[in-house]
Structure 1
Amino acid sequence: MKFLAFFGHLNIDVSISVQSLPAPGQATGVKQLKEKFAGTAGNFTYVAHSLGLDFDLYSIVGNLSHKRYIQNLEETGINTEHVEIAENESGPVCYIPSDGKEQVAYMFQGPVNNWKASKNFEFGNYNYVNIGTGPVNEYIKIVSIEKRERIVFDPAQEIWYNYNSETAEYMVNHCNMIIMNRKEYAHLLELLNISSNVLASKVSNIVITEGKKGATVIQHEVETNVPGILSNNVIDTVGAGDSFRAGLYTGLWKGYNLVDAVRIGNITASKAIENNINEFNLKFDDILKILNSIKG
């Protein structure tokens, strides 16, 4: 049995640097245009691979836009067996204009909208199945068949616009772990119209990321705060949460309990944002040295 199946996006992020964000009907010049291999699954994958985690990546991309992305993953040594290639399609691509103070984002889903994610999934072959960003109806098919104790509900920003009260409740009733940031978690509670205590009575393991503050673990209704780790020199915080997940799952894979795995996730995220995430090159032993120094 394999350890983890990770579902999510392999975005190409196109950062568009402008002097100022134009009002409707106006135009502005572009100072710099930069492409980055990213997305929830992409950010996770680069870090998890470097840490040595046993996982399979599940995603879909268009061949017109993602040839270099797939080539880069394969040259890095990442298994793309479960990444579907949609012929004559582009995406997913996220366009992000920014003036350095504010930014907007335009997300083109491309083939993700029609991805039959359940079709080629290896049911019963993983200890954990991380249900990330992607097609909700397909994910519901997966969790309706897969064992509940293996399912992790991790919708990221899509909890705001891809889930409603019915689909969110279905996922909660079929998962054993939830991973969200604090705002996403608050929105989930609003969708379900329940308190955190009630949700904790339904789901055995809840991990709430808190940015620089670290994370909160609610396990069997007992809450534990896990402090964050300061970075030496922050280059780019985009993908910090995905890096956190890579560290957390690697910790669980190595036999650590959930709280210590979250500590490992915090450390991993703090180191990942010190450089471009797709250039992350630390090994698990490097993270472990920092963990041991923290725990004394």
Structure 2
Amino acid sequence: MEKMYDVLVVGELNVDLILDEIEKFPEVGKEVLAQRMTLTLGSSSAIFASNISSLGARVAFIGKIGKDKFGEVVLESLQKNKVDISMIKVDDSLGTGATVILNVDEDRANTTYPGAMDYLTIDDIGDDELKKARHLHFSSYFLQPGMWGSLGDLFRKAKANGLTTSFDMQWDPKETWKLDVADVLPHVDVFLPNETELKLLTGKNTMDEAIEAVKEYANILVIKRGNKGSVVFCEGQLVEMPAFLNKNVVDAIGAGDSFNAGFIYKFIQGKEIAECQKFGNLTGAVSTTAAGGTTAFEDYERFKQTAKKQFGVD
């Protein structure tokens, strides 16, 4: 049966208030100046959804927002990038989440107000909704306490309904890294941490040790390494692939989510893992050529032109 959506994204929704061109991070009791400010769609899940939709996938989103101006920005931005927003829950008793981002060179510091993100639960995701899609992507586990302890159940439901699955756990603000990998990862087709997150999750000091700690549970393990590229561990084989380097990074916001979008876009087409990995590296690099996580993907023709001009890829 033909599915309505290629990808159903479940996750957090917020806006990003980005402050750029800052000479240094502020110190307590002192003030610094930013030369540029941008209000844009934020959240790992939403950036992934927008960018994979821009690449050509049919995408729908399940999440929660408040009935406010920030919520309007979220909905308008997703709609602009042709993401189906009909399953997003709007709660007028809650506020839409927001993240303030301070960019200094290629590093950044974030402060997030979770708002409605705290209240999404597995009860908001029904079998009827899952059955409409071919693939389920979930992101930012640690920012969504309503999903703590039930993520394994969500992925089991997805697999029972015939979906392939992917998961990017993202950073843990509390830095406790409490995730039951034995319950969750066996039902995840593609696990997408970055190198630092994987080492913190496993309590290991090296990437090799971290891979060893999760390999019995993970199916396809994809490790993002920023300007070092990526590593994939699959069926006992480890494949390292260098990054497409951008010498003039605008910012790195959403680069990992853009990598995810590129990798999963090829994955749902049934492409070889090496092709998925290469395209993920490319989409992650293209993301760094414009401010915010989605700007470089607002127009697919622009994306292709950037890939050709900046990185020599047709």
TM-score, length-normalised on structure 1? 0.83
1:284–1:102 distance in 2 versus 1, CA, 3 Å:
closer
- Alpha-carbon deviations, 1:8-39, whole Å to 9, x = none? 22221123467765554x25365565422221
Identify which range, 217-226 or 138-147, moves more after superposition.
138-147
Which residue does the alignment assign to 2:12?
A: 9
C-alpha RMSD over aligned residues:
3.3
- Alpha-carbon deviations, 1:52-84, whole Å to 9, x = none? 113322222112231133123223432112222
1:157 aligned to 171, 177, 189, which one? 171
Which residue does the alignment assign to 1:86?
A: 91
Identify which range, 258-267 or 224-233, moves more after superposition.
224-233
Letter of the structure 2 residue corresponding to residue 258 of structure 1 = I
Does residue 143 in structure 1 map to residue 161 in structure 2? no
Letter of the structure 1 residue corresponding to residue 124 of structure 2 = K
SS in 2 for 1:85: strand
SS in 2 for 1:158: coil
Does residue 128 in structure 1 map to residue 132 in structure 2? no
1:131–1:102 distance in 2 versus 1, CA, 3 Å:
closer
Which residue does the alignment assign to 1:77?
A: 82
Aligned mates of 1:73, 1:153 — CA distance in 2: 20
Alignment of 1:58-207 (within 5 A): 58-64=62-68, 65-97=70-102, 104-121=109-126, 122-133=129-140, 134=144, 135-147=147-159, 150-158=164-172, 161=175, 163-164=177-178, 167-190=180-203, 196-207=211-222
1:212–1:124 distance in 2 versus 1, CA, 3 Å:
same
- Alpha-carbon deviations, 1:108-145, whole Å to 9, x = none? 11011111244234234443322211332343431243
Shift of 1:195: 5.1
Q: Flag structure 1 segments of 5+ consecutive residues without an equivalent.
A: none
Aligned mates of 1:73, 1:154 — CA distance in 2: 20
Does residue 220 in structure 1 map to residue 235 in structure 2? yes
Which residue does the alignment assign to 1:275?
A: 290
Which residue does the alignment assign to 2:304?
A: 286
1:114–1:139 distance in 2 versus 1, CA, 3 Å:
same
Q: Flag structure 2 segments of 5+ consecutive residues without an equivalent.
A: none
Letter of the structure 1 residue corresponding to residue 290 of structure 2 = N
Letter of the structure 1 residue corresponding to residue 39 of structure 2 = E
Does residue 245 in structure 1 map to residue 252 in structure 2? no
Aligned mates of 2:24, 2:213 — CA distance in 1: 45
User: Is contact 1:43–1:239 with CA below 8 Å preserved after alignment?
Assistant: yes
Aligned mates of 2:284, 2:104 — CA distance in 1: 26
SS in 2 for 1:9: coil
Letter of the structure 2 residue corresponding to residue 7 of structure 1 = V
1:285–1:205 distance in 2 versus 1, CA, 3 Å:
same
User: Is contact 2:6–2:59 with CA below 8 Å preserved after alignment?
Assistant: yes
Aligned mates of 1:43, 1:189 — CA distance in 2: 26
1:12–1:162 distance in 2 versus 1, CA, 3 Å:
farther
Shift of 1:211: 0.8
SS in 2 for 1:157: coil
1:3–1:77 distance in 2 versus 1, CA, 3 Å:
closer
Aligned mates of 1:102, 1:228 — CA distance in 2: 18
Letter of the structure 1 residue corresponding to residue 134 of structure 2 = N
Aligned mates of 1:169, 1:159 — CA distance in 2: 22
Letter of the structure 2 residue corresponding to residue 85 of structure 1 = V
Letter of the structure 1 residue corresponding to residue 153 of structure 2 = K
SS in 2 for 1:180: coil
Which residue does the alignment assign to 2:54?
A: 50
What is the aligned length? 289
Aligned mates of 2:164, 2:176 — CA distance in 1: 22
TM-score, length-normalised on structure 2? 0.78
Letter of the structure 1 residue corresponding to residue 238 of structure 2 = E
Aligned mates of 2:158, 2:119 — CA distance in 1: 21
Letter of the structure 1 residue corresponding to residue 59 of structure 2 = F
